Amino acid sequence: MSIHDIGTRRELFVDDTLIERLDGARLTLHHPQPAGVALALDAPWEGRFCGYATVLFDGDRYLMTYRGWMAVGEDAAPAFTCLATSPDGIHWEKPDLGLVELNGSTSNNIILHERDHGAVCHNFAPFIDTRPGVPADERFKALGGTWRVTGGLLPYASADAVHWRRLSDKPVVTHPTFGFDSQNVAFWSEAEGRYVCFYRYFTEGEEGKRWVCRQSSDDFLHWGETVEMRSVGGPIEQIYIQQTTPYYRAPHLYVATAARFNPGRTAITAEQAALAGVEERYWHDTADGVLMTTRAHSDAYHRTFMESWIRPGPGPEHWVSRANYPACGVVPTGENEMSVYVNRRYAQEAAYIERLTLRPDGFCSLNAGYGGGEMVTVPLRFSGDRLSLNLATSAAGDVRVELQDASGAAIEGHALADADELIGDQLDRIVTWGGRADVSALAGRPVRLRFVLRDANLFSMRFIT
């Protein structure tokens, strides 16, 4: 019998990894809710082709890097890497950094210029390096570059996310065929104890589908073998950027807020495109945001939901090529809120980055309607002495929990008949049986959890001490 050792990890209901049986319940996708414009991309050095944003939460501040790019094609302009900052992830500003001269002035928020860093500015993607013992002047790291120009991804480091230096003049992440010309992300994985990079490649050369590979490294400079990610639960689609990062409340779970590209799928007319100011080559395709998940050490994305996670929404300006691309990063922006960010109105003068919100752990949930339903887990082994749930019920609904032994028999004192009804909307609700919460006597033993729901959503669970 296979037993999943979850210890005190928080487990989200985003896939079927811990699910053995569903009866009248289902996994439900939740959509981020619009929360307004986070950043208008209206500076002269930004322009209609801004994109590939990354959002980082750095304790008492938030950082957003993104590409500034005014024109492509025959009238191509240089690309820049820009920086925005925020005290709360809600209100953003563009600091006057004074680092890069542009048109005779250094009054801008540019941190890298294409004339000095080349194709790195096309897709520069930083992260906060949380590796134990990392030098202070390498607290931030990044990768950037394209297959055509740099041959792969070049490594960078910084003490403050503003002043960057290259760690190698040769690419450290490479692939034998075409790839990298989109946002490619890396991070220190607490769960794996090494650096992990997810990057774009084409499944069959340039004529294939845009999909994802991963590599890993102990030191950020020497990377291991290429692993092509599998797609579990759905077919491989055109994933333009995958934005895979460890979820901050459960770092063994990697959440991919990906962009699904639909080449040749036209939704607006030439007249609508002209009114929006969209160039000819940028209104014949469409894109939306999808949610994929994977886990530490895994070579597969779970496609639990093939449906759109972030739809384009009303207005022809959102139904253009390369619009609606999510930024990399899911960050807390309040006690009961987390935020994701998305590029809007791509290839248009009024381009901007929008903020959207979810409840913590709120990507998906285990859900049952008024008629009720239940779920039984695979055998688990836990640590701790109490079970905490992130849940929401209606005023008429409830959640109850039964603890079973590995064979599926109810454990005395923790049967469904002993379970107290859990009613309300809380991120950390302690489960009780006859008013008693202590489950320490069962820690380390194989158990199953039976969740019985009525008009309720269960977002995550965690055993705590």
Are both 321 and 446 inside the same structural domain? no
Query: What CATH number has the domain bearing residue 110?
Result: 2.115.10.20
Are both 404 and 352 inside the same structural domain? no
Are both 65 and 161 inside the same structural domain? yes
Give 279's pLDDT tier (boundaries 50, 70, 90). Answer: confident
Are both 57 and 82 inside the same structural domain? yes
Domain boundary among 358, 386, 419: 358
Give the closest residue to 171 by CA, choosing from 188, 148, 200, 198.
Answer: 148
CB contact at 8 A, 347 and 279:
yes
What pLDDT sits at residue 144? 98
Q: Say how far apart CA 180 and CA 171 lie, in whole Å.
A: 11
Are both 226 and 278 inside the same structural domain? yes
What are the pLDDT digits (tens) for 140-175?
A: 999 999 999 999 999 999 999 999 999 999 999 999
Average pLDDT, the chain: 96
Query: What CATH number has the domain bearing residue 445?
Result: 2.60.120.260
Domain boundary among 358, 390, 414: 358
Give 74's pLDDT tier (boundaries 50, 70, 90). Answer: low
Are both 230 and 139 inside the same structural domain? yes
Residue with tokens 């965690």: 462
Are both 354 and 232 inside the same structural domain? yes
| Predicted TM-score of the model (pTM) | 0.97
Q: Say how far apart CA 419 and CA 398 lie, in whole Å.
A: 11
Q: Taking residues 104-108, report their average pLDDT.
A: 96
pLDDT at 461 over 70: yes
Domain region containing 193: 33-358
Domain count, the chain: 2
Are both 314 and 404 inside the same structural domain? no
Are both 26 and 39 inside the same structural domain? no
Are both 144 and 213 inside the same structural domain? yes
Domain boundary among 315, 334, 358: 358
Are both 236 and 331 inside the same structural domain? yes
Are both 17 and 97 inside the same structural domain? no
